[in-house]
Amino acid sequence: MTNPLLELRRLGQSVWLDDIRRDLLTGGGLARLVEEDGLAGVTSNPSIFEKAIAGSDLYDAQIEAELAADPAMGTAALYEALVVEDIRGAADVLRPVWEATGGVDGYVSLEVSPHLARDAGATVAEARRLWDRVGRPNLMIKVPATAEGIPAIEALIADGINVNVTLIFSVAHLEAAAGAYVRGVERCATPGGVASVASLFVSRLDTAVDRELEAVGTPEALALRGRAAVANARVAYGRFRELFGTPFESLVSGGARVQRPLWASTSTKNPAYPDVKYVEELVAPDTVNTLPRATLEAFRDHGRAAVAITPESIGAARHDLEALAGLGIDLERVTGELQAAGVAAFEEAFDRLMAAIDARRRSALDAAAGR
């Protein structure tokens, strides 16, 4: 039987893994996903690292080794040492993919501190420092599409630093990210050597809009449940095609790549919906879908790979969004609130992670002193 994940690649969609853990690298799991499932990238965020580091003992040996070498190492430096080790390891596994695709795929993403989401200058400085420290050409720095993040994205692309624009929830957010990318490419000395994706979060929109539809409560409103997120993404894809069509051709002739949409937050939050809903309904050329491990395995098991975003489906998606507006649901408000909530959630996860690492650091130092 054909692997549906490999079929997605044939249809022009790249599959990335929305997860990273030390044992995935040391145990060969990531390499197997690349070889058997055509996995073409990895994304991370503060929540993922919190689960990996705070929720396991996989990092204890490195924590002890780092502190043995430098007992004065602070919590922030220890966090960075742990994360950089994972990011470099994933980048090295994916390096052959990056080389084979000419830099289209094979990336691993690392996010700047979420506490910098409202500070463009600090975001640029942190991104440049992380880029230099990781030292891998197939690294992508994740920068949120906040108002302050947009100029930072432009500056980083101009520097030739790959950027994964994160926390995109609306077509307007995607347009802003595309504008920053294009301006950055125009200023970049090596436009063919820089890559970017625009990460549009999917399932969280259905969670928020479904709540409002249920509050409206009419049959028309209830019939629209579970349709907002896919409609929003399909309309965003149509806008991507417009933005990177004819107006972008002169830059393409100079070697520049398009900024592909990346579907993020693709695990199904509502158990009433199919577990592969946000994979099957968002298949399209020149896109990326980053999947949590459980969603990836579910799609491998029973997913159906077929192009789902077409001119006809984009037209139907526009009708769905118009129907939502007719019911008084303001998507610009909802998506703005979701972006702010996303920044806050990553800040909280980052703070929990730092607290957990600090506790491990103190415990390791106490144990060493006891010995």
Q: Which residues contact 63 (CB under 8 A, 6 or more apart)?
A: 78, 82, 357, 360, 361, 364
What letter represents residue 134's amino acid?
V
Q: Assess whether 142 carries a catalytic annotation.
A: yes
282: nearest Cα among 173, 196, 176, 206: 206
Do residues 162 and 194 touch, judged by C-beta distance below 8 A? yes
Q: What are phi and psi of 312, to 5 degrees?
A: -70, -45
Q: Can you tell me the distance from the alpha carbon of 37 to that of 96, in angstroms, rounded to the nearest whole number?
A: 15
Going by their DSSP bridges, the two strands 13-17 and 139-144 should be labelled as unpaired
Do residues 368 and 67 touch, judged by C-beta distance below 8 A? yes
Q: Can you tell me the distance from the alpha carbon of 125 to that of 156, in angstroms, rounded to the nearest whole number?
A: 9
Both tokens of 55, joined, read 């929720």
Q: Can you tell me the distance from the alpha carbon of 156 to that of 89, in angstroms, rounded to the nearest whole number?
A: 23
Catalytic residue among 51, 142, 269, 277: 142
What letter represents residue 37's amino acid?
D
Return the SS3 of 62. helix
Q: Which residues contact 91 (CB under 8 A, 6 or more apart)?
A: 107, 108, 134, 136, 138, 139
The H or E element that residue 108 is part of is strand 107-111
Name the burial class of residue 11, with classes exposed (0-12), middle (13-18) and buried (19+) by CB atoms within 10 angstroms of its CB: middle
CA angle 164, 157, 332 (to 5 degrees): 50
Q: What is the DSSP letter of 224?
A: T
Which residues are catalytic, by number?
Answer: 142
